[in-house]
Amino acid sequence: MPDEQVHPWYALRARVRHEKLIASALYGKGYEVFLPLHRVRHRWSDRMKELDDPLFPGYLFCRFDVNRRLPILTTPGVIQVVGMGKRILPVDDLEVAAIQAIVSSQLYAERWPYLAVGQRVRIERGPLTGMEGILLTVKNTYRLVVSVTLLQRSVSVEIDEDWVTPLDGDRPSPTKGVALE
């Protein structure tokens, strides 16, 4: 699709554990697809294995013309395009870009409960330079939480304390676990 860059990102709800197949099928149809994955250890009775699992189980992102969504919806495993009621809503480009930066940084990232409060910070150094999110401390490590508002899902990534600066005019919330300075 030559004009794919002009279309916004949309979140697709998918059958859980079918996200990789769906992403592959959509890519094969010529769509730009983003399936954020993270490395996790799975334990079976006889062994441990590291696998790449979706950061947002049951969801993936795709750029397309919302008026030509039938090929998307007829892809096996796709349940729906995410929106509010019958209205399909795009995902904020900055949120998708933040998730893409986290995935490509190869820093340790994990699923995180959706957060809407806390101190917003900007990363000034390191592989995530320029990214904004919420700063937390967990078990003596600093983490940046980035959220996808439409999905109400979040991802946390381990960062160095000296990489961050608070955003101007942002006051910290007295939320447990939020790093206050």
Instruction: Say what the pTM is.
Output: 0.77
Which amino acid, 148?
A: V
pLDDT at 5: 55
pLDDT at 59: 98
Closest among 149, 101, 92 to 123, alpha carbons compared? 101
Provide the residue ranges of all domains of the chain, joining segments of one domain with +.
4-91, 93-166
Architecture per CATH, 93-166: Roll (2.30)
Identify the CATH number of the domain defined by range 4-91.
3.30.70.940
Closest among 83, 82, 63 to 14, alpha carbons compared? 82
Closest among 165, 69, 74 to 122, alpha carbons compared? 165
Per-residue pLDDT of the chain (181 residues; tens, 9 = 90+): 444 458 999 999 999 999 999 999 999 999 999 999 999 888 888 999 999 999 999 999 999 999 999 999 999 999 999 999 889 999 999 999 999 999 999 999 998 877 665 678 899 999 999 999 998 888 888 899 999 999 999 999 999 988 988 886 544 443 334 333 3
Bridge partners for 138 per DSSP: 141
pLDDT at 115: 62
CA-based angle 115:8:55, to the nearest 5? 40
Q: Taking the CA atoms of the chain, what radius of gyration do you get in angstroms?
A: 18
pLDDT at 131: 93
